[in-house]
């Protein structure tokens, strides 16, 4: 996984060359022609800043330099700190005297790493425009919403994209998506300071307002723009695997920056300030899941329904075997590498549960507020959260519980179980 992200980061510049410059021709096919040297009044494209930056790139590729200039100028009036728009503006001036074969070729003394970052941003935005799955298909990662969860956030690390889905009668319905920045060294965070964004299922835990950050962080508060929304990294399974770190937030950007490069944070997920505020309106503190995946998987409604039903059946099978005192089938649901929140391994857990079950004449297990999300990737995991009401002839217990499941010998097995933190 780590190698994929490192390779992707190193190869993005090459891909940018391929995508942003048509083969065997410069951006302006013949800058010596009079029409490219004349000052013309173009027509500015309308839409969001992202739509307009892409429209400007399209205009340049198609030789419509006046329209590109008008679009970039209008965009910079609205977003004067948009660095990619400034880069295109510089290219447009350079094209009056020479052909350019790549975006940013007219940037002059701009540092190589800064130029590469801007090219990566352009590539990420262009690639997303070609991806229509979020509107036509469903995210395979959002399988079961708890009734109280109104929305879910999905972060596609590979695409540098953040999506919002609404819970519509239990089915994820697309709301919006935005460009986002992740860790400088990609995803799959393992230790404090590794500059990676974690992969997994997390929950928004609080809202750190800008006034609060000004008070507690001083001048550093500007790094987070309009504010920050911390998420629950490290979660229960992260801790059991020895993953360390803290301060993983969704947040905005500094006042002198419109957008950051696709890989530029220390592990957080950052957005433009306007888009962070847009995302914030869908966040329920303590409820909204933030599912961060290496690459989003999109499936048909039929396939999503099949996975949804299978996930519910999986959890209900576990509940029914526990409730019916079918001790061995129940224990067969647990993985060889299982750990409980109090550190028990499978052998210790099985011994304890066998002794407890022997003292039961009957039991009832009810699950409420059940949610199921999957992290995806080559080793997908199911994260289940629920309120558990357990009653038996000698015990009544209620708790919020979380389980993590993964594939073992072709079947889903529980690798962690304990109180939801």
Please write the tens of the pLDDT for every residue from 77-87: 999 999 999 99
**Same domain assignment for residues 317 and 391:** yes
Residue 139 has pLDDT above 60, yes or no: yes
Asked if residue 385 is part of any domain, the answer here is yes
Residue 22 has pLDDT above 60, yes or no: no
* Domain count of the fold of the chain: 3
The total of other beta-carbon atoms located within 10 Å of residue 306's CB is 12
Residue 28 has pLDDT above 80, yes or no: no
Average pLDDT over residues 94-119: 85
Residue 17: its pLDDT value, please?
A: 35
Lookup: tokens for 151: 């929305």
Lookup: tokens for 135: 């509107």
Asked if residue 334 is part of any domain, the answer here is yes
**Same domain assignment for residues 283 and 271:** yes
**Same domain assignment for residues 293 and 383:** no
Of 242, 265, 297, which closes a domain?
297
**Same domain assignment for residues 86 and 190:** no
Instruction: State the Cα torsion 123-125-130-135 to the nearest 10°.
Output: 150
Average pLDDT over residues 191-198: 96
CA distance 201 to 300: 22
Query: What is residue 177's three-state secondary structure?
Result: strand
CB distance 344 to 352 below 8 Å: yes
**Same domain assignment for residues 259 and 396:** no
Residue 270: its pLDDT value, please?
A: 98
**Same domain assignment for residues 303 and 290:** no
Provide the domain limits for residue 65: 2-129
Average pLDDT over residues 158-162: 97
CB distance 370 to 146 below 8 Å: yes
Asked if residue 135 is part of any domain, the answer here is no
The total of other beta-carbon atoms located within 10 Å of residue 229's CB is 24
CA distance 87 to 164: 30
Query: What is residue 203's three-state secondary structure?
Result: strand
The single residue listed with the structure tokens 């995803």 is: 187
341-380: string of b/e by CB count within 10 Å (b at 16+)? Answer: beebebeebbeebeeebeeeeebebebeebbbbbbbbeeb
**Which CATH number is 236's domain given?**
2.40.440.10
Residue 39: its pLDDT value, please?
A: 54
Asked if residue 136 is part of any domain, the answer here is no
**Same domain assignment for residues 197 and 237:** yes
- Per-residue confidence band for 20, with pLDDT thresholds at 50, 70 and 90: very low
φ and ψ of 389, to 5 deg: -115, 105
Of 263, 297, 331, which closes a domain?
297
Average pLDDT over residues 375-397: 94
Asked if residue 188 is part of any domain, the answer here is yes
Average pLDDT over residues 165-190: 97
CA proximity to 285, closest of 345, 242, 232: 232
Asked if residue 141 is part of any domain, the answer here is no
CA atoms within 13 A on the CB side of 46: 0
Residue 105: its pLDDT value, please?
A: 85
Asked if residue 349 is part of any domain, the answer here is yes
The total of other beta-carbon atoms located within 10 Å of residue 62's CB is 12
- Per-residue confidence band for 6, with pLDDT thresholds at 50, 70 and 90: very low
**Which CATH number is 407's domain given?**
3.10.450.50
Say if residue 191 is exposed, middle or buried (CB neighbours under 10 Å; 0-12, 13-18, 19+).
Answer: exposed
CB distance 185 to 146 below 8 Å: no
Residue 24: its pLDDT value, please?
A: 32
pTM for the model stands at: 0.89
DSSP 393: S
**Same domain assignment for residues 180 and 83:** no
**Same domain assignment for residues 279 and 338:** no
Using alpha carbons, list the distances in angstroms from residue 100 to 26, 40, 287.
6, 20, 50
Residue 389: its pLDDT value, please?
A: 98
**Same domain assignment for residues 309 and 285:** no
Instruction: State the Cα torsion 159-161-165-170 to the nearest 10°.
Output: 30
Query: What is residue 94's three-state secondary structure?
Result: helix
Please report the DSSP string for 135-169 in residue order. HHSEETTEEE--TT--EEEEEETTTTEEEEEEEET
Long-range contacts of 254-260 (CB under 8 A, 24+ apart): 254/222, 254/223, 254/225, 255/81, 255/222, 255/225, 256/81, 257/81, 257/83, 258/49, 258/79, 258/81, 258/82, 258/83, 258/85, 259/82, 259/83, 259/84, 259/121, 259/179, 259/181, 260/181
Asked if residue 353 is part of any domain, the answer here is yes
Of 268, 297, 326, which closes a domain?
297
What are 198-257's pLDDT values in tens digits?
Answer: 999 999 999 999 999 999 999 999 999 999 999 999 999 999 999 999 999 999 999 999
**Same domain assignment for residues 367 and 244:** no
- Per-residue confidence band for 89, with pLDDT thresholds at 50, 70 and 90: very high
**Same domain assignment for residues 84 and 38:** yes
Task: Report which secondary-structure segment, H or E, holds 42.
Answer: none
CB distance 68 to 88 below 8 Å: yes
- Please, what is the Cα angle at 398 between 383 and 344, to 5 degrees? 60
């Amino acid at each position: 996984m780590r190698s994929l992200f490192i390779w992707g980061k190193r190869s993005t510049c090459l891909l940018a060359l391929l995508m942003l410059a048509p083969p065997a021709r410069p951006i302006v096919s013949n800058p010596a022609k009079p029409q490219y040297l004349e000052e013309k009044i173009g027509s500015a494209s309308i839409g969001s800043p992202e739509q307009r930056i892409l429209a400007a790139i399209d205009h340049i590729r198609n030789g419509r330099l006046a329209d590109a200039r008008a679009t970039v100028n209008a965009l910079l009036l609205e977003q004067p700190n948009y660095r990619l728009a400034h880069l295109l503006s510089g290219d447009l001036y350079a094209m009056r005297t020479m052909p350019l074969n790549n975006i940013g070729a007219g940037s002059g003394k701009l540092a190589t790493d800064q130029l590469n970052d801007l090219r990566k941003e352009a590539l990420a935005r262009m690639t997303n425009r070609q991806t229509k799955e979020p509107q036509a298909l469903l995210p395979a990662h959002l399988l079961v919403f708890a009734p109280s969860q109104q929305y879910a956030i999905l972060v596609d690390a590979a695409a540098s994209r953040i999506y919002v889905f609404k819970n519509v009668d239990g089915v994820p319905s697309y709301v919006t998506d935005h460009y986002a920045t992740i860790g400088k060294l990609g995803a799959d965070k393992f230790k404090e300071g590794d500059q990676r964004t974690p992969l997994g299922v997390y929950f928004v835990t609080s809202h750190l307002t800008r006034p609060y950050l000004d008070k507690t962080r001083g001048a550093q508060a500007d790094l987070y723009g309009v504010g920050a929304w911390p998420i629950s990294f490290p979660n229960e399974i992260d801790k059991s695997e020895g993953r360390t770190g803290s301060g993983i937030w969704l947040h905005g950007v500094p006042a002198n920056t419109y957008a950051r490069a696709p890989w530029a944070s220390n592990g957080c997920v950052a957005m433009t300030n306007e888009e962070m505020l847009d995302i914030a309106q869908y966040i329920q503190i303590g409820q909204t899941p933030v599912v961060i995946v290496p690459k989003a998987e999109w499936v048909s409604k039929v396939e999503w329904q099949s996975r949804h039903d299978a996930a519910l059946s999986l959890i209900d099978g576990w509940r029914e075997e526990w409730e019916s005192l079918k001790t061995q089938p129940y224990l067969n649901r647990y993985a060889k590498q299982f750990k409980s929140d109090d550190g028990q391994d499978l052998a210790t857990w099985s011994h304890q549960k066998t002794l407890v079950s022997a003292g039961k004449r009957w039991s009832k297990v009810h699950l409420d507020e059940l949610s199921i999300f999957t992290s995806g990737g080559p080793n997908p995991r199911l994260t289940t959260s629920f309120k558990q009401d357990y009653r038996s002839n000698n015990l009544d217990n209620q708790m919020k519980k979380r389980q993590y499941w993964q594939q073992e010998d072709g079947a889903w097995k529980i690798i962690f179980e304990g109180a939801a933190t």
